[in-house]
Chains A and B, each alone.
Chain A
Amino acid sequence: MTNCPTLIVTVGLPARGKTYISKKLTRYLNWIGVPTKEFNVGDYRRECLKIYKSFEFFRPDNEEGVKIRRQCAMSALNDVRQYLSVEGGQVAVFDATNTTRDRRGTIMKFAEQNGFKVFFVESVCEDPEVIAQNIVQVKLENPDYMNCSSEEAIEDFMERIKCYETSYQPLDEDLDSDVSYIKIMDVGRRYLVNRVVDHIQSRIVYYLMNIHITPRSIYLCRHGESDLNIKGRIGGDSGLSGRGKEFAKRLRNFLEEQNIKDLKIWTSQMKRTIQTAECLGVPYEQWKSLNEIDAGVCEEMMYEEIQEHFPLEFALRDQDKYRYRYPKGESYEDLVQRLEPVIMELERQENVLVICHQAIMRCLLAYFLDKTSHELPYLKCPLHTVLKLTPVAYGCKVESVYLGVESVNTHRDRPENVNVQRSTEDALQTVPAHL
């Protein structure tokens, strides 16, 4: 059973955060390079039913409802099989209530037949405030409740939960002692972890134990404009230009205005981020893993020089910017790997400002905004602009704040011609202006 695909199965009453966990976990696994997809049985049901009338559909004595729901689950499992066995997926997250032992037994049999490992993630919560908060945040926007008022929706949803409660069989220490699972209680106050069998499950457990839902914001920005930026050169370890220093001052004002509670500030170990943080006049922490991507032999070169000396490398990079590794340097893929501990720590923390670099910021942003490896290397992260990310519902709200200090543009779009035989002109088509 080495390297076999994993089926993660959520368990829990409605409004316990199963979909929140599924989506977040899927986003994390994809970001670290493990092909993962979620399969939400509710979506299948909406596809099948088209119109949701009321909670009556979920009553355990509603025979037709039960039949349709089982069909939807089967349909979803078929798609899971397709994804894991045929399409090359590595992890599938089966997001449904799965509250009965019977249903879970069916799933485990399915997994065994197909050679998948199973790992259950159960969310147990009895705090009425948390449940109410969940309903307001995600259920009211749900297609099921498009045409009713908030009060009606809440009332109906509470009835829906009741339909499941009577038949709910939580994972049990004794009856389910041979099953691999994590039981999350009270939004992470307590965890019960049983029989973690392999590396990916251990990583999943570690991740789930580090996330929280306390409201907070993450601020991402680059260092102020540097001397090498002005010259159009990549990499290096130069200091701030005059405008860069001005940005640092404005950043300080911005933070004071925002009045952020217990803000932590992180920088890389390169001059330009450290100098930016120094201006803020508050303690900050340096992470080596936040250092800019190492451009190897191309360090401190202008794009024009790279084209002149390494036209082949330049073209290859344009062909697959995510995976391309500079000779004696790094790739975006390498970056993601070295940034994983940073992400884990960002998940644990509350309010944080990360002062980093273009490639780094793209990787971090891709994690929060669920961007693919194709989009990641072309995300726009201009100088002198702060991005404020606030987790909301299943995703992340982004606010972009330009601090009004001019700077060069360092963003190079993918040129049209990425052929290795292309002309210099074609290669340099998208190079931004510089001195």
Chain B
Amino acid sequence: MSSTQRDSGASTNSTEAKKTDPRWNEKKCSWASYMTNSPTMIVMIGLPARGKTYMSKKLTRYLNWIGVPTKVFNLGVYRREAVRAYKSYDFFRHDNEEAMKIRKQCALVALQDVRVYLTEEGGQIAVFDATNTTRERRDLIQAFVKENGFKVFFVESVCDDPDVIAANILEVKVSSPDYPEKHRERVMEDFLKRIECYKVTYQLLDPDDYDKDLSFIKVINVGQRFLVNRVQDYIQSKIVYYLMNIHVHSHSIYLCRHGESNHNVEGRIGGDSELSPRGKQFAHALRDFIDEHKLSDLKVWTSQLRRTIQTAEELGVPYEQWKILNEIDAGVCEEMTYQMIQDSFPEEFALRDQDKYHYRYPGGESYQDLVQRLEPVIMELERQGNVLVICHQAVMRCLLAYFLDKGADDLPYMKCPLHTVLKLTPVAYGCKVEMFYLNVEAVNTHRDRPLGKNPRDSALIHRRNSYTPLSSHDQVKRPRLYSAGNQPWLPLAPTPSALMPERLQSQARTGGSCLSPCAKESTLMAAKKLVAVFASE
């Protein structure tokens, strides 16, 4: 399908442009995408500096990551296209007839682009980011939506805390293209007057009467309170859940892989091997790194594979094990080197290079599967404060892709070297990344994208499960590696501490390995062990 990209009027970010094509192919749909039938328009509502664009971009990033093609249409961008030079807040006065005409025209153009995106370009969700503060404007949008057979969901942000508003203005408006001179006080003054212009005609959503049949969420005071009305379907329920879990408090997320493992050294993928000597060194270096950064209340998460657990053990702080952070399951290729895979399964090897994101190892997983399994991790990371996630290459790529808004094409080739910590700090509308190499040598496990244009093989598109009529042969299913093994004499398998009153130490035990079992069982919990892997507050 074609992906005619519009000029700057349509796209808000440069990355938007290359997203529509790879994200849409109805046979490659993610689960989330399958569950969404008619296209949906999300309409933001609120005075300026209420976080509409922040929520729009974040939501779009999340939806794209879980595989639902989504795009933001920011009316400000259209307006700046139409009116080259912004002079002052006078443009926004509601009695400025000429300006009103231009603004309405921009809205109509934007809506046309929305229509094209949702009906011709394969988009599933369009986020219409504008103030939409009058009933008149919202009625216009509803008529448009009805005419085109879309669903509509409103997101209204209401905030009367002057500190929050001032902070918003400073963080994102001062650097807006509208204010090239960036003189703070003048920007603040003009912008506050701009807000006043809107206040005059602002008609809030009225859940009791006028708007009682609409589907919407009202976000009040940056998530302190929510009013949710008539959620229609799966995707709206996920949007509501997401919006209710994000916050704006500053925090940092640290992502790193386990220390170098024995399999890494041998060039083998997957498996459940232990740290090499250099890997252990890294674990020590990581401990120093954490001490240096003096992170308050840092949560540490690992997978349930030995190599991440061993890394965390060295830190001397409580940590939680998440099974869903385990490395991608390479099925029949587990524990092989790339050379062995090429020798034993040359067709599979080639298929993977053609479409690394969707390719599923026979008896194993694909990156697309990983994203689905990691979604609760992302949701919990959004809820949390400072977190260090010690995980694996493929897993880290998926998490990073969420934070840095990378598409399916780029995700499987992101560079996540061993012994390097990435610090992600949300800032303005995006994420600041700092990379810390902890100075312990390690092998390089990164395999670049192969050169030359690989034709998309149609066989791959139809493969949706480990069983397909097109799979090359009846494979022997190799055992999948999940846990760090069971201690033979203790029937209770290790579980994450999650909601238990006492934070438990590492619980990895293996028969005769070097890991020392040091789990403390709270006797009160013995009766019913907790399963949830979600981190506690």
User: Which residues does A use to contact B, with CB under 8 Å?
Assistant: 1-4, 30, 32-35, 87-88, 90, 173, 177, 189-200, 202-203, 205-206, 209-210, 235-237, 269-271, 274, 285-288, 294, 296-297, 299-300, 312-313, 316, 319-320, 323-325, 327-331, 333-334, 336-337, 345, 348, 373
Contact = CB atoms under 8 A, between A and B. Distances in A.
Contacts of A33: 528-532
B500 interface: yes
A125 B11 CA distance: 45
B40 to A, nearest CB: 16
Interface string B484-524: 01101001110100011111000000000000000000101
Nearest to A191: B228
Given A192-B226, A236-B477, A299-B477, A198 B533 contact: no
A271 B475 CA distance: 13
Given A195-B225, A206-B241, A287-B31, A348 B501 contact: no
Given A269-B466, A327-B486, A189 B229 contact: yes
A87 B533 CA distance: 22
Contacts of A336: 531
A323 B483 contact: no
Contact of B224 (A195, A198, A203, A324): A195
Interface of B: 31, 34-35, 207, 224-231, 234, 237, 240-241, 244-245, 272, 323, 363, 369, 372, 380, 383, 464-467, 477, 479-483, 485-486, 488, 491-493, 495, 499-503, 522, 524-525, 527-537
B536 A331 contact: no
Given A34-B532, A327-B486, A190 B227 contact: yes
Contacts of B527: 35, 88
Contacts of B534: 199, 203
Contacts of A329: 479-480, 482
A330 B482 contact: yes
A124 to B, nearest CB: 12
A194 B467 contact: no
B207 A319 contact: no
A196 B529 contact: no
B531 A337 contact: yes
A325 B226 contact: no
A325 B486 contact: yes
A35 B226 CA distance: 28
A194 B228 CA distance: 11
A193 B529 contact: no
Contacts of A312: 488
Nearest to B224: A195
Contacts of A270: 465-467
Nearest to B233: A348
A373 B528 contact: yes
Nearest to A300: B477
A285 B477 contact: no
A271 B486 contact: no
Given A190-B207, A296-B482, A199 B31 contact: no
Contacts of A348: 234, 237
Nearest to A117: B537
Nearest to B234: A348
30 contacts: A30-B528, A32-B532, A33-B529, A35-B530, A88-B525, A190-B227, A199-B380, A199-B536, A200-B499, A202-B244, A202-B245, A203-B534, A209-B237, A237-B466, A271-B467, A274-B467, A286-B464, A286-B465, A299-B477, A299-B479, A300-B477, A316-B491, A325-B483, A325-B486, A328-B482, A333-B529, A334-B482, A337-B533, A345-B234, A348-B234
Contacts of A90: 499, 530
The 5 residue pairs across chains A and B that have the minimum distance between CB atoms: A33-B531, A88-B524, A269-B465, A198-B537, A325-B493
B483 A328 contact: yes
A199 B383 contact: yes
> Chain B's interface: helix, strand, loop or mixed, by majority?
loop
B36 to A, nearest CB: 13
Given A324-B486, A337-B531, 10 more contacts: A32-B532, A87-B524, A199-B535, A209-B240, A210-B237, A237-B467, A270-B465, A288-B372, A320-B491, A325-B482
A323 B491 contact: yes
B225 A193 contact: yes
A5 to B, nearest CB: 8
A127 to B, nearest CB: 14
A3 B501 contact: yes
Contacts of B231: 209
A285 B465 CA distance: 11
Contacts of A313: 486, 488
Given A88-B527, A270-B467, A316-B488, A2 B482 contact: no
B531 A333 contact: yes
B505 to A, nearest CB: 15
A337 B377 CA distance: 13
Query: Max chain A CB contacts within 10 Å: which of B207, B228, B323?
Result: B228
Nearest to A335: B531
A274 B465 contact: yes
A312 B477 CA distance: 23
Contact of A328 (B479, B488, B502, B525): B479
B483 to A, nearest CB: 6
A296 B228 CA distance: 44
B530 A34 contact: yes
A334 B323 contact: yes
B515 to A, nearest CB: 15
Contacts of A285: 34
Contacts of B240: 209
Contacts of A319: 491
B527 to A, nearest CB: 6
A312 B488 CA distance: 7
Contacts of A191: 226-229
B480 A337 contact: no
Contacts of A88: 522, 524-525, 527-528
B519 to A, nearest CB: 14
Contacts of B502: 3
Query: Max chain A CB contacts within 10 Å: which of B229, B481, B488, B493?
Result: B493
